[in-house]
Amino acid sequence: MKEFIDQILNRPRQQKIGILAVLIIIFLALDYSFLYFPRSGQISGLMEDIDNARVERDKKKKLAADLPKLQQQLHELDGRLKEAVAQLPDRKEIPDLLSSISTKAKEAGLEILLFRPRAENLQEFYAEIPVDIVVRGGFHNLVAFFDEVGRLKRLVNIQNIEIKSPRTKDEQVSVETATLATTFRFLDEAERAKVAAEKAAKEKAAKKS
């Protein structure tokens, strides 16, 4: 970052003012857009909403034989459940989601230098899927990409944003940006059982030690 700042300060006064103004706008935009990006707490709340919606829906199903009012409530609950589930894909949907994120970067005019998914991190009901991303392009292209990712129906968490290696060409400044994008997916029943068994085994081992 120090090298980045020194390169800016060594430029002509007009360029410095322009670049610094853009930087202020960019960081304000990033702070506003990603300060409230989804965290594990939000996912836990979403899981609770899904479970509650399922329980309530199942109750209504038992009562909704020929009652129009209850049938309408059941329809609304189904809609709520589908909306909540849509934010956390299952395993087979993950490749399409990652492809969509990559496409958003290209459509924003960014050059993709690295797009590398890491190993999944299994939680109790869901899995975190981190992806290392490095892109090059202008500040406005970067903001457009982050904005488009934020508009996806799926939960995608952007963090660890690092901006470096500024270059100027035709009075346009481009930077290299590294970030970690994390998306999430539901665990199937077998995976949840495996996670629960491993957790129980660890707790048992901890009690013995």
Of the options 3.30.70.60, 3.40.630.30, 2.40.50.140, 2.40.50.250, the CATH number for the domain spanning 88-196 = 3.30.70.60
Residue 39 has pLDDT above 70, yes or no: no
pLDDT value at residue 36: 45
135 alpha carbon, distance to own chain's centre = 17
Average pLDDT over residues 77-83: 68
Q: How confident is the model at residue 206 (pLDDT cuts 50, 70, 90)?
A: confident
Average pLDDT over residues 81-94: 68
Beta bridge partners of 126: 186
The torsion defined by the Cα of 197, 154, 109 and 102, in degrees rounded to 10, comes to 30
Quote the mean pLDDT of the chain.
Answer: 76
Q: Identify whether the C-beta of residue 179 lies closer than 8 Å to the C-beta of residue 138.
A: no
Average pLDDT over residues 61-77: 66
**Dist. CA 19–CA 121, nearest whole Å:** 39
pLDDT value at residue 159: 87
Let me know if 180 is exposed, middle or buried by CB neighbors in 10 A (0-12, 13-18, 19+). middle
pLDDT value at residue 104: 93
The CA-based angle 129-90-135, given to 5 degrees, is 35
**Dist. CA 38–CA 152, nearest whole Å:** 12
pLDDT value at residue 180: 92
Least confident residue range of 85-94, 128-137, 178-187: 85-94
pLDDT value at residue 32: 45
Residue 35 has pLDDT above 50, yes or no: no
Domain ranges of the chain: 44-85, 88-196
Average pLDDT over residues 147-170: 84
**Dist. CA 130–CA 124, nearest whole Å:** 17
Residue 6 has pLDDT above 80, yes or no: no
pLDDT value at residue 88: 66
Q: What residues contact residue 81 under an 8 Å CB cut-off, 6+ apart?
A: 50, 53, 54, 57
Q: How confident is the model at residue 106 (pLDDT cuts 50, 70, 90)?
A: very high
Q: How confident is the model at residue 84 (pLDDT cuts 50, 70, 90)?
A: low
Residue 113 has pLDDT above 90, yes or no: yes
**Dist. CA 139–CA 177, nearest whole Å:** 10
Least confident residue range of 72-76, 136-140, 163-167, 190-194: 72-76
Residue 28 has pLDDT above 80, yes or no: no
